[in-house]
Amino acid sequence: MKKIAFVFFTVAAVMVLTACDRQSSFDENDVRLSLRSVWYGGYQAPEDQYNNPVAAAIREKTGVTVTIDGIMMDALEYINLMFASGDMPDIINTALWGGADGMTQVLKKAAAQGLLHPIQDMLEKYPNVKRSYDIGVISQSYLEQDLMDPAFDGNLYFIPNQTAGNADNLINWTPGIFVRGDVPQALGIDPASIKTQEDLYNFMVMARDYGFKDVNGNDVIVATTFQTGWDYNQYLTNFTDEKLTDFIRTEDGAITHRFLTQNYIDSNMFIWRLINEDLFDRECFRQTVTQAYTKMGNGTALFFGALYHAGIDATQQTGLYTAHPEMRYVPVGPLNYADGSPLTQIETVGRTGCPVLFFPKTNKHLDASFRYIDFINTIEGMTLAQYGIEGMTWEQNDQGQPRLIKDFLDRQAAGDISWQDEMRDVGAGYIANLMTYGSLFMEWFGEASPGAEEIAIPEHEAYKKMRPIKQIPGYPLRGSADFPEWDRVSSLFDGEMERVYRERAYFARTEAEARSILLDFQNYLRTQHNGVFMDWLEFMTQKANSRPDTAL
């Protein structure tokens, strides 16, 4: 799909620049904009995004209403099709992970070819957006190599999103592996004792053979993930090191990449082993959010690898713990790193890769777009976006901070998620995660999200301490466009291509066939375009040696 995008960019540029204005209103006191959340699995928004109380309050302050929708297909595939057709919303939220990531390359190509609005001239006028570019909010390497890519000629096109304003506001995402609570109880295993891949494998085999059922009496899946295989890597923790990048320095001082190592083969063969012994969900690599939620919410998955709150949310929606409290998911391990050290949540000093907002040239109201976004990132705007309307959904505490009304807190504590629907209908709780820049929630509100202080889930809080945040200083070494043949490298180093080879290996009939496919991928990287990938690694070796603060 990536090649399709590159073929059609020139055509798309003409289509985008000549497309008719789809705004339903040109009144600057009532500008209506569309935002698309380009993440597989759709997007939950209130039925009426114009007339709800929060939208009305924001419109009174900004003159702008933003209507949000989502997609139900692969994000990269959607972005490719969008640029090829020229049919785009006013604002788009998606991932710009940086470096060699496939989505990053498509978005950068669009920016360099003039399909997006440059936005640097807007920043002095809108300081709450401008702070999203502060070093510490984002990393120096992300700013230099991705947001200010040399191909942009000094322009900025992307606003980094879901970032912390400082270290105190970093979110502990709590990724890991989690198991249905009755499983270790029945098997007589302490899940905290699981520290290695073999520990995990043996645990999963025992769970498979025991004969567990889900809440409906149906057969179970031993282990799954959230949507589209995210995050199968949680099952591979024991193959990884505590480091920032996928680059590795060899004994002779050269830089290589994880994809070319024996460790890459071994780790993926572990997933092959799980799949071929009926220990891993075969459909998880293409499943939707809804399918994942169903598997966790019904206790169909004995293990899942993702963020802890994904399973918590799924079980709250079904009320699993009310009827079956013994099935409450609990952490496994966490597994150790390859060297035996305890797992942490690794962060750069400032995010290096994150969701972003950007603005296609078809957006005829760039100033109104910034006016809306800048207001959302004030205390007043974020209070509306997160908490809703005072007296309706929140009230002040003794410190003058917003807190959810008692009815909502009581219902959430009881596992009743209907309060979330009511919040959404008021217009709160669905905007902020797409538009948070340099979050100062802890300073402003004293809690990371509405209700977090009063209704913190004990096991979730305990797991944060088990897997703490660790910031690693330095300038992360990352693939960048300053390599003369970067376009050729990026065409090889595409996340989609790696996924195709990797998943072919996962579903191979024999171990030998699976290993051969993974070796074919490594050979593909080494030999295509006269070995340009290997030339690039030599270039990256020189780059790594050029800065004393380089971090791998």
Do residues 222 and 280 make contact, with C-beta atoms less than 8 angstroms apart?
A: yes
Do residues 118 and 358 make contact, with C-beta atoms less than 8 angstroms apart?
A: no
- List beta partners, residue 301: 221
Q: In 3D, which of 302, 280, 300 has the Cα closest to residue 207? A: 302
Find the largest Cα–Cα distance for the chain: 68
- pLDDT at 79 (0 to 100): 92
Task: Give Cα 527 distance to the centre of its chain.
Answer: 32
Per-10-residue mean pLDDT, the chain, length 552:
34 35 56 93 87 95 95 90 91 90 90 95 94 91 90 94 85 92 97 96 98 94 94 95 92 94 97 97 92 93 93 85 90 95 90 93 95 95 95 93 92 81 91 84 88 78 90 82 81 80 96 98 95 94 90 89
- Cα 134 to Cα 140: distance, rounded to the nearest angstrom: 9
Do residues 194 and 176 make contact, with C-beta atoms less than 8 angstroms apart?
A: no
Tokens of 333: 């391990």
Do residues 552 and 477 make contact, with C-beta atoms less than 8 angstroms apart?
A: yes
Do residues 196 and 277 make contact, with C-beta atoms less than 8 angstroms apart?
A: no
Q: How many residues does the chain have?
A: 552
- pLDDT at 242 (0 to 100): 93
- Cα 138 to Cα 439: distance, rounded to the nearest angstrom: 12
Query: Omega of the bond prior to 21 within 30 degrees of 0, cis?
Result: no
Do residues 532 and 524 make contact, with C-beta atoms less than 8 angstroms apart?
A: no
Element of type H or E holding 507 = none
Report, in angstroms and rounded to the nearest whole number, the Rg of the chain calculated over CA atoms: 24
- pLDDT at 280 (0 to 100): 98
| Residue labelled with tokens 């890459």 | 264
Tokens of 43: 């997007």
- pLDDT at 207 (0 to 100): 98
Whether pTM > 0.85 for this model: the answer is no
End-to-end CA distance of the chain: 30
User: What domains can be seen in the chain, in order of their start residue?
Assistant: 2-164+353-442 (3.40.190.10), 166-349+451-475+494-528 (3.40.190.10)
Tokens of 177: 């592996």
